[in-house]
Amino acid sequence: MKDVFYEQLVKRQPTAKDRLIRVAVILGIILIFILGTLFLQVIGWALTVAAGFGAYILFGRLKKEYEYIFTNGELDIDVIYNKSSRKRVFSGHVRDFEMMAHTADLRHENTFKSAEDRQDYSTGIISDRSYTFLTRYNNKRSAITIEPNDAMFEVIVSRIPHSKFYPK
C-alpha cells in the first residue's frame, strides 16, 4: 500500500481578544514607566525594561500558526508560536472520529456544543473550508475545528467511514 503524507500550514488571524491584550499591555507599560520614573527613578526604568521584555514574549505567543500533518490516516496538529516554538496539540487517527461536518452546519450545531472540550485550530474565521470533527482526546469528547485545503480535505475524507462524514 502506498504511504500517504500531507502537511498544511494555517495562519491564525488576530482576534479582538488578541488586540485587547496588546492594547492593555502597552497601556500597562506606559503606566509602569510614568509611575516608575516619578517615584522610583532607576528602579522604574528597570521595571519598564522588564515589562517591555515580557510584552515582547507575550506578543510573540499571540502570533499562531497551525500545522496539520496527515500520515497514513493519522492526523497531527501542531501550534507554532511566532514561527519559532512548536507544540503538539492533537494527535489521532481519523477512523476514530465520531463524525465530521462543516462548522456552520446547523444540523450538527447541538452535537458540537455538547462536546466537553472545544478547540479551534483554524484561521478563526468560519469559511467554506472550516470543518469540525468529534473525537475522544485526552479522555474527553472533543470538538475540534480545522480548515484543511482541498488536498488535505480529500485525504481526510477518504479515510473516514462515509457514515461519519456529513458534507455541506
- pLDDT 10s digits, 58-103: 898 889 999 999 999 899 999 999 888 999 999 999 988 999 999 9
Q: Distance between CA 47 and CA 54 in Å, rounded? A: 10
pTM of the model: 0.83
pLDDT at 1: 55
| Residue 15: DSSP 8-state | P
Each residue of 101-152: pLDDT tens digit?
Answer: 999 888 888 888 889 999 999 998 888 899 999 999 989 999 999 999 999 9
